[in-house]
Structure 1
Amino acid sequence: MISKKQQKAYGLWSSPISARMLSQGIRLTEVFWDSDGKTLVWYEGRSANGVLVAAGQGEPGIDLNVEISSRGGVGYGGGEFGIRDGVVIFCGKDGRLYRRPLGFAQPHPITPAFGSVAAPQISPDGEWVVYVYSDGNLDVLAVVDAQGKHWPQKLVSGADFYMQPVWHPGGKQLAWVEWNHPQMPWDGTRLMLADVRMEGMPKVENVRLIAGDTDTVIFQPEFSPDGKWLSYITSAGEWDAFVLVDLQSGEKRRLLNPQGAHLYEPAWVQGVRTYAWNADSQKIYIIQNEAGFNSLWQMDVLSGAVTGIAVDGYTNLKQPVVSSSGELALIATSAQVTPRVVVWNGDTWRVAARSSAEDIAPEYLSKPQPVEWQAADGVTVYGLYYSPANPDFAADGQPPVILHIHGGPTSQATAKYGAEISYFTSRGYGWLAVNYRGSTGYGHSYKKMLRQRWGDVDVEDAVSGARALVSRGLANEKQMIILGGSAGGYTVLNSLIRYPRVFKAGVCLYGVANLFTIDQDSHKFEAFYNVSLVGSLPEAAGRYHAWSPVFHAEHIRDALAIFQGDEDNVVPPSQSEEIVAKLRQAGIAHLYQLYTGEGHGFRKSETLLDYYERVEKFLQQNVLFAP
């Protein structure tokens, strides 16, 4: 029997997806196999805590660090742990490295609590740990013995940043990625290779450049399990290439150079991976990103043949890793499946871990449709559109639509599960994820279109996207909303300033408001980001002033909600508070909520619960029920 849908206004539909449900969700960000080929360890973000979970084949998972929260602390984080021979080395939120053997054991620190650590890599003999260390000003590769009996030592220094260190399986070489200001890791990096000599503690010698420069990106160096090859991904023209280096002859060979798809992601955090060697050193599994939709491929090292692997409907794939027995594990999701840790045995997929109860029927979860539109200057802009989705309700006319502006700005909205998307589309809102110029995923030229124009073309692309939806009958012109965080919040503010009445309301999370002060206050990683996005000071002072929302906030005419964490060291609270002061002065309807103990991105369950409930009420009052 087919139940008749109830007629009810868009935005007011009852949904089984509650704010409390979303506040209890688990973040899955990393997964590794132990060297036994049987034990899988993954990272779960639970509210404000980071927990490592270990599970043998067919066994339930066991928490490894109940009392000590794990989190990589360099830059935006990532690179939380490594494992070898039954020993986990993980980054503590307190800035220490901890050793945690599997079985009956407790974590104990192996480095002092000073600075920040990330990406611990255990040597093949299990004796040493190389990791990325930062005190906020100086970044190095450091080394410490795996028992923590001696003080850590500086191993490699001289560059501004380090990422993705990796040991040769023989333990005699080390590779890593490094770069200097003003480059970002998606602008230009260097792949370095060094010999390792033992003199009490490991030392490096014969350090040489393998690939990369200020305009060439190098991503994820790896050694083949048999030690014959060094592999990496590099930018290559409009797209990317996968390269093998014969360590004996030094010869380089491109194994893959797809057109129309990317192989690497912008390295916002430590430890990002998009490929993995098989244990036999004959095959490599690699993820391709085509306009936000991921696919999985197998490359044959000798023949160069590339074949696709069916992934059971998943459209977003992360962090692939292969066990010594040949099983592939990764984190997978789609718009209708919350993130999972899944394992492929060469024939079938099984689920090793879930991030939610998976108790919401897919009919309540909207699927993205790729959309394109033309900016005012004729450039094609891209996005993903999600229509309202709820099997119990229907409505006449066009829905209110939330335009989401992703952060970064060098990032991308992709076809993955989005808690916030599902929350609102199941209530009758449409959702447009705008991949404005400067986004990744559409070729390197598209990514570079934002250079010197951040605050200009991102705003134009958002506004033209809103108008395109209205012209196609997909949105109610009088009920458009713009929402974004960080760099996305900056675009929200500028859009409301420059195009009043296009949007009925805006929601800004920890948005950049003052380009001058963000240059002074931001953390080291992004200290020179504005050089490429806006320009150098003092030459670009005019653009800094024209595109800083704080100097023009009096032009805002639409309701605005601002959310901020009081421990944000990327976009400090002063950025939001300057805007709020201007709104109060001008008498603009607004909401300001400062969350205690939150940084750049909200994690606490109580924060998320409050955020979803406040935003929904704000939109009801200022959009759905407003004249």
Structure 2
Amino acid sequence: MKHYKKDYGTWSSNITANDIANGSKSLTTLAIENDNIYWLEGRPTEGGRTILVANNGNETNDITPSEYNIRTRVHEYGGGSALVVGNEVFFINFSDQRIYHQKHQSNPTPITSNNGDRFADLHLDKKRRCLICVREHHSKLEVPTNSLVSVDIENGKIKVIHDHSDFVSNPRVNESGDRIAWLTWDFPNMPWNGNVLWIGVIDRDGSIINKRRIAGGQSESIFQPEWSPDGNLIFVSDKNNWWNLYKTDGEETFSICSTEAEFGLPQWVFGQSTYGLSDDGRIVASCVSSGFWRLGLVDNNCFEPFEIPFNQISDVKVKGSKVIFVGASGLDAPQIICLNINTGKYEVIEKSSLNTIHEKYISIGQSIKFSTSRDETCYGFYYPPKNDDYPKPAGELPPAIIRCHGGPTGATSAALNLSTQFWTSRGFAFLDINYRGSTGFGRKYRESLHGLWGVSDIDDMVSGAKWLVQKGFADPERLIVRGSSAGGYTTLASLTFRDVFKAGASYYGIGDLLALARDTHKFESRYMDSIIGPMPENEFLYYERSPINFTEKLNCPVIFLQGLDDEIVPPNQAESMVRALTSKGLPVSYLAFEGEGHGFRKAENVKKALLAELTFYCRVFGFTNGDIQTDLEIHNLD
């Protein structure tokens, strides 16, 4: 039943902030063991706690006791924090960063000591009964050191087996237990710029000998090495522009599948998996092209996709004839899927959201591309306002939100995201941009941001906004830009150095690039060498591209949302911008959340932030919505 006509932005919606905060959970780190399917489940309703869950085909049960929270702080972003082998579980507990060992139906016991060391990327060396993993050692006076270590499961004794690089990841021991593969990279590279794949022989005492460099380098990125049943090593490389699949016998390297699609991901976190191998050596892999993911079999240098409805696929794991993955589509939020390789039939094991949203409230992302600066092309997904309870107002254009994803080395997809639908179901247009520098479009597109962060990404935001206006999809006087982390920087820079947007929202964004270069953690401490330029010779670029130094150019309302425990983008970034804009007399709102880091995990804070953002737009643009908060403080507007 349709309501009376209401203006864009004022529509009522049954997609609530409470649904988004409480109704969705994260699903990661999948595994199959003994016909059970395991995964890590992040629960906003439990303070953002992450636990291990198992499904035996009949029921789903929590494995982790209530006092534990599975999460590692290696690289600050974590990943690879749990491992299931047989009836044994190994995990890292967030509060003390120790490795714990748990057998089914028993309480976890710590393996490592409580000395402040952090661990990630757990892998079992069955032959020697030890864990091979990444250790990050912190001291107050020195930069953290990262090394590859073996941890004796019985006594916790640690042996360093590789410590000759700035970073290390992906340790993988072959089935016979005599060889190991791993990845390394050194400053100033990030792993997606260039890293190295190694193979070594494991000696009797567990040390690595006869180390051989197999692939990679300063301008080649390797992803996810895995041993095949026949003893070959499978891996992903972008040496031909696209992250494609290769294999090596240790002597020669061969292409497995050459295509203009990407089987790799930027390694922000440990433990990512885009493919797996069955017991008979078949490869089941996922790849992305033009922003859409597919899953299929790789055979004879061909990729044969399964006929499934999912356009976002992650965490692919294979066992026997089963492949499990997290899949999502334009109508379905992320869910764990189990697919039979032989028949192509699948079943849903677990959903990330129990909320059932009728299609009449869901806006489907439309893949678009548009021209941008330097005669180049940019990509994105456009979501028109959609709520069949309301007729589209005649003679009115909607307010539009242009979102810039984080990273900046990252990507967005067209999978159902209730946070996007929150806006479109209220009458906002939404444009999600894969600006230059995004992944999934080849190495050249990824590198097109090199030296130009704070220039090209801003141009792409502006070009996207102008595309909306030219198409008649958005009101030019109600253009909003929003983003988090690096996307928050692009948001603030777009508001400062361009005169197109009329409001913005920065979630733990960066206003001072020099402060970021000085204060950030080890993993990202040289990230900006590539996307801006090395210091100190390029210090002037850091100054010139920092919004905090040019607040006189920023002339529209901004809301800032920040976690007070953020180690990646410290609160002083937001606070300095808030002070400057408040003193200038601009409408500014600032919400700081205790106990939150880089990204909000607690349900009450997710809800509060989203409603505050909606309230902010309603008040600065002068329209009303039934969900607005009456207690939001907006300086220079109240």
TMscore range, shorter length: over 0.9
Map 1:432-443 onto structure 2 (within 5 A).
432-443=431-442
What letter corresponds to residue 290 of structure 1 in structure 2? S
Q: Deviations over 1:481-536 (max 9, x none)?
A: 10001111111111111223x22210001111111111111010100011111112
* Contact map agreement 1:84 1:126 (CA 8 A) in 2: no
Secondary structure of 1:392's aligned partner? coil
Q: Partner of 2:146 in structure 1?
A: 139
1:356 aligns with 2:353: yes
* Contact map agreement 2:97 2:117 (CA 8 A) in 1: yes
Q: Deviations over 1:454-479 (max 9, x none)?
A: 11111111111101110101111111
Q: Partner of 2:365 in structure 1?
A: 368
What letter corresponds to residue 314 of structure 1 in structure 2? F
What letter corresponds to residue 172 of structure 1 in structure 2? D
Q: Deviations over 1:159-208 (max 9, x none)?
A: 11111111101111111111001000110000011111232xx2211111
Q: What percent of counterpart residues are identical?
A: 32
* Contact map agreement 1:388 1:428 (CA 8 A) in 2: yes
* Separation in 1, partners of 2:67, 2:123: 23
Secondary structure of 1:438's aligned partner? coil
* Separation in 2, partners of 1:89, 1:126: 16
Tell me which moved more, 182-191 or 550-559.
550-559
Tell me which moved more, 190-199 or 38-47.
190-199
Q: Partner of 1:198 in structure 2?
A: 204
What letter corresponds to residue 382 of structure 2 in structure 1? Y
Q: Deviations over 1:307-362 (max 9, x none)?
A: 22112x11100011112x32100111123211111100232111111111142113
* Separation in 1, partners of 2:212, 2:487: 39
Q: Partner of 2:313 in structure 1?
A: 317
What letter corresponds to residue 73 of structure 1 in structure 2? R
* Contact map agreement 1:297 1:308 (CA 8 A) in 2: yes
Q: Partner of 2:256 in structure 1?
A: 255
* Structure 1: runs of 5 or more not aligned: none
* Separation in 1, partners of 2:623, 2:13: 19
Q: Partner of 2:542 in structure 1?
A: 544
Q: 1:227 to 1:157 in 2, by over 3 A?
A: farther
Q: 1:265 to 1:596 in 2, by over 3 A?
A: same
Q: Partner of 1:211 in structure 2?
A: 215
Q: Deviations over 1:42-94 (max 9, x none)?
A: 01111221111012123323332321100122111111211112101111112
* Separation in 2, partners of 1:336, 1:365: 7
* Contact map agreement 2:362 2:425 (CA 8 A) in 1: yes
* Separation in 2, partners of 1:526, 1:608: 26
* Separation in 2, partners of 1:140, 1:377: 42
* Separation in 1, partners of 2:512, 2:382: 31
Q: Partner of 2:180 in structure 1?
A: 174
Query: Which of the residues 522, 537, 542 maps onto 2:520?
Result: 522
* Contact map agreement 1:218 1:235 (CA 8 A) in 2: yes
* Contact map agreement 1:504 1:623 (CA 8 A) in 2: no
Q: Partner of 2:506 in structure 1?
A: 508
Q: 1:602 to 1:159 in 2, by over 3 A?
A: same
* Separation in 2, partners of 1:604, 1:561: 20
* Separation in 1, partners of 2:318, 2:191: 26
Secondary structure of 1:337's aligned partner? coil
Query: Which of the residues 319, 324, 327 maps onto 1:329?
Result: 324
Q: Partner of 1:463 in structure 2?
A: 462
Q: Partner of 1:90 in structure 2?
A: 91
What letter corresponds to residue 494 of structure 2 in structure 1? S
* Separation in 2, partners of 1:457, 1:74: 31
* Separation in 2, partners of 1:4, 1:360: 17
1:43 aligns with 2:48: no
- TM-score, normalised relative to structure 2: 0.93
* Separation in 2, partners of 1:573, 1:165: 35
What letter corresponds to residue 235 of structure 1 in structure 2? D
Q: Partner of 1:234 in structure 2?
A: 237
* Contact map agreement 2:257 2:302 (CA 8 A) in 1: no
Q: Partner of 2:563 in structure 1?
A: 565
How far off is 1:115 after superposition?
2.2
* Separation in 2, partners of 1:126, 1:21: 47
Map 1:253-402 onto structure 2 (within 5 A).
253-259=254-260, 261-281=261-281, 283-300=282-299, 303-311=300-308, 313-323=309-319, 325-346=320-341, 347=343, 348-396=345-393, 397-402=396-401
What letter corresponds to residue 139 of structure 1 in structure 2? N
* Separation in 2, partners of 1:606, 1:4: 32
What letter corresponds to residue 240 of structure 1 in structure 2? W
How far off is 1:537 after superposition?
2.1
Secondary structure of 1:276's aligned partner? strand
* Separation in 2, partners of 1:369, 1:594: 34
What letter corresponds to residue 41 of structure 1 in structure 2? Y
Secondary structure of 2:356's aligned partner? coil
Q: Deviations over 1:550-605 (max 9, x none)?
A: 10113211110001111111111111111111112211110011110111111111
Q: Partner of 1:428 in structure 2?
A: 427
Q: Partner of 1:157 in structure 2?
A: 163
Q: Deviations over 1:407-428 (max 9, x none)?
A: 1001111122223101111111
Map 1:69-80 onto structure 2 (within 5 A).
69-75=69-75, 76-80=77-81
* Contact map agreement 2:258 2:301 (CA 8 A) in 1: no
* Contact map agreement 2:19 2:355 (CA 8 A) in 1: no
Tell me which moved more, 332-341 or 567-576.
332-341
Secondary structure of 1:83's aligned partner? strand
* Contact map agreement 1:189 1:212 (CA 8 A) in 2: yes
RMSD: 1.6
* Separation in 2, partners of 1:43, 1:383: 30
What letter corresponds to residue 349 of structure 1 in structure 2? Y
How far off is 1:609 after superposition?
1.2
Secondary structure of 1:380's aligned partner? strand
Q: 1:623 to 1:157 in 2, by over 3 A?
A: same
* Separation in 2, partners of 1:556, 1:240: 39
* Separation in 2, partners of 1:6, 1:153: 70
* Contact map agreement 1:85 1:126 (CA 8 A) in 2: no
* Contact map agreement 2:223 2:264 (CA 8 A) in 1: yes
Q: Partner of 1:597 in structure 2?
A: 595
What letter corresponds to residue 532 of structure 1 in structure 2? S
* Separation in 1, partners of 2:167, 2:314: 23
Q: Partner of 2:60 in structure 1?
A: 60
Q: Partner of 1:30 in structure 2?
A: 29
Secondary structure of 2:83's aligned partner? strand
How far off is 1:538 after superposition?
2.5
Secondary structure of 2:203's aligned partner? strand
Q: 1:373 to 1:306 in 2, by over 3 A?
A: closer
Tell me which moved more, 533-542 or 581-590.
533-542
* Structure 2: runs of 5 or more not aligned: 139-143, 625-636
* Separation in 2, partners of 1:454, 1:613: 30
* Separation in 2, partners of 1:54, 1:310: 27
How far off is 1:126 after superposition?
7.4
Query: Which of the residues 202, 222, 226 maps onto 1:222?
Result: 226
Q: Deviations over 1:26-51 (max 9, x none)?
A: 011220112x2x01110111122111
1:12 aligns with 2:18: no
* Contact map agreement 2:2 2:391 (CA 8 A) in 1: no
- TM-score, normalised relative to structure 1: 0.95
* Separation in 1, partners of 2:403, 2:536: 32
* Separation in 1, partners of 2:374, 2:247: 41
